[in-house]
Amino acid sequence: MAEGLVMVKKKSLAHYRAKRDFKTSPEPKGDTIKSSKKPIFVIQKHKATQLHYDVRLEIDGVLVSWAVPKGPSTDPTVKRLAVRTEDHPFEYAQFEGIIPEGNYGAGTVMVWDRGTYKNIKMKSGKLVPMNECLKNGQVEVWLEGKKLQGGYVFIEIRPEKNQWLLKKIDDEMADARRNPVSTEPDSALTGRTMDEIAQDNNELILRM
Ligand code: MN
């Protein structure tokens, strides 16, 4: 296999697919086998029943995902609840648009931040593979995004409820004065606002 190419774990997308009707939702099915050389991350702002931020890390060709109601913070003293959700296909990182009414997760989806990440979880002087980090409930990554940079840690707190905490590591990129969730609300992919994404989608439908 070519370097940097990872087989998608199709089985891990079973939950994702079971929840969706791809005849009525424009979301990707996840058929492509695809992985970037450097693993990617994406944070999607999702205005569903409740506004939340879906933080996704590429691991073994799929996007391992957490829903973070308040979004990530750059302040290392702030802990944010992160609820682990179903793995999403790699192509989902490019998805920005509307999930139509009546579908699972109906509402507007924006690519709020995107970039690459590095695993930084060490044990006895060695990097712990991401899969093991997930199993152990302790993930540590260095993000290189447009809005978020530096170390973040995910700590599993209530496995039976899929509850984790997301926290900024206190490193040189930590900044308690920044609040990108409110000061940088627009798309990292297209620069659009949530309203513009909804508007563009309606115009697309009217033209069809
Ligand atoms: Mn969501």
Q: What is the pLDDT of residues 35-94, one digit of tens each?
A: 557 999 999 999 999 999 999 999 988 999 999 999 999 999 999 999 999 999 999 999
Q: Over the chain, what is the mean pLDDT?
A: 91
The reported pLDDT for the residue numbered 37 is 78
Ligand 1: centre distance to CA 67 (Å): 6
The reported pLDDT for the residue numbered 31 is 77
List, for the chain, all residue ranges whose pLDDT scores fall below the cut of 70.
1-11, 32-36, 204-208
Ligand 1: centre distance to CA 63 (Å): 13
Ligand 1: centre distance to CA 20 (Å): 13
- pTM as predicted: 0.88
Contact 117, 149 (CB under 8 A): no
The reported pLDDT for the residue numbered 14 is 87
Ligand 1: centre distance to CA 174 (Å): 26
Helix, strand, or coil (residue 62): strand
Residue 157's H or E segment, with its range, is: strand 149-158
